[in-house]
Amino acid sequence: MDRDQLLEHENAARILQEAWQLFQQKGYRGVSIDELCLRCGLTKPTLYYYFHDKETLFVEVLEYRLQGFHATLEQPGSLVERLERHALSILESFQNDYMLLLRDREHIKAPEHQQRIRDAFRRELFGPLVALMEAGMAQGELASADPEFLTLVYLGMVNNFITRSQEPGADRPALAAALAQFFYKGAKQ
């Protein structure tokens, strides 16, 4: 069953949503299939019908949740507006530092699963930002630098504010705007 077919099933969508919450809260090793089934109100056979094992589920969850980040950068607007939309998308999507999820890759045994996670982050998050940084340099909006370095600086800034953006009363749009402006002012010529 491919991902689009999978998402048409209410149970699969619920599993992906609940697993996303649990993996962010507890990490890969901290989540048990029993706990996930309890939260979803499903049996293990039902879960395993959609996802072969916990490792496959983890990979599917990451791929599913990373979809669309590139789209925030492809929308029209200035460099700062695009960075702001992207930062807001990250702040609204993650509850905790996304590097924790990347570190959980060490628990993934299948090389093809490790590769799928790397590919998803590169395709949906890192690669489109590198392209945006390259475009910003080509247009003279950003200083000439290594676009991957600029991307890592930007992502590091946003990542460090994910937890703060979850606090009661946090103004995520204002925070995203401040982060985009701060990055832009520091990275422009």
Domain boundary among 11, 35, 62: 62
Q: Residue 69: its pLDDT value, please?
A: 87
Residuewise pLDDT in 10s, the chain (189 residues) = 555 555 567 888 899 999 999 998 888 889 999 999 999 999 999 999 999 999 999 999 989 888 888 899 999 999 999 999 999 999 998 877 676 777 777 888 899 999 998 899 899 999 999 999 999 999 999 999 999 999 999 999 999 999 888 889 999 999 999 999 999 998 886
Nearest CA among 163, 21, 169, 26 for reference residue 90: 163
Q: Residue 4: its pLDDT value, please?
A: 54
CATH (domain of 36): 1.10.10.60
* Cβ proximity of 97 and 163 under 8 Å: yes
Q: Residue 188: its pLDDT value, please?
A: 81
84 in the same domain as 49: no
Q: Residue 9: its pLDDT value, please?
A: 79
115 in the same domain as 40: no
The vertex-59 CA angle with 58 and 64, nearest 5°, equals 100
CB environment 90-129: b (16+ within 10 A), e (fewer): bbeebeeebebbeebbeebeeeebeebbeebbeebbbbbb
Dihedrals φ, ψ of 165, to 5°?
Answer: -70, -15
Q: Residue 139: its pLDDT value, please?
A: 93
The full length of the chain comes to 189
User: Rounded to two decimals, what is the model's pTM?
Assistant: 0.84
55 in the same domain as 85: no
Place of tokens 């930062």: 87
71 in the same domain as 17: no
Task: Quote the number of domains for the chain.
Answer: 2
Q: Residue 11: its pLDDT value, please?
A: 87
76 in the same domain as 19: no
84 in the same domain as 120: yes
44 in the same domain as 95: no
35 in the same domain as 117: no
Residue type present at position 93: S
* Cβ proximity of 22 and 36 under 8 Å: yes
Nearest CA among 45, 36, 33, 44 for reference residue 14: 36
Domain boundary among 46, 62, 78: 62
CATH (domain of 96): 1.10.357.10
What is the DSSP code (8-state) at residue 69? H
Q: Residue 6: its pLDDT value, please?
A: 57
Which residues lie closer than 8 Å to 91 by C-beta, 6 or more apart? 158, 161, 162, 165, 172, 175, 176
Domain span at residue 44? 3-62
Domain boundary among 12, 43, 62: 62
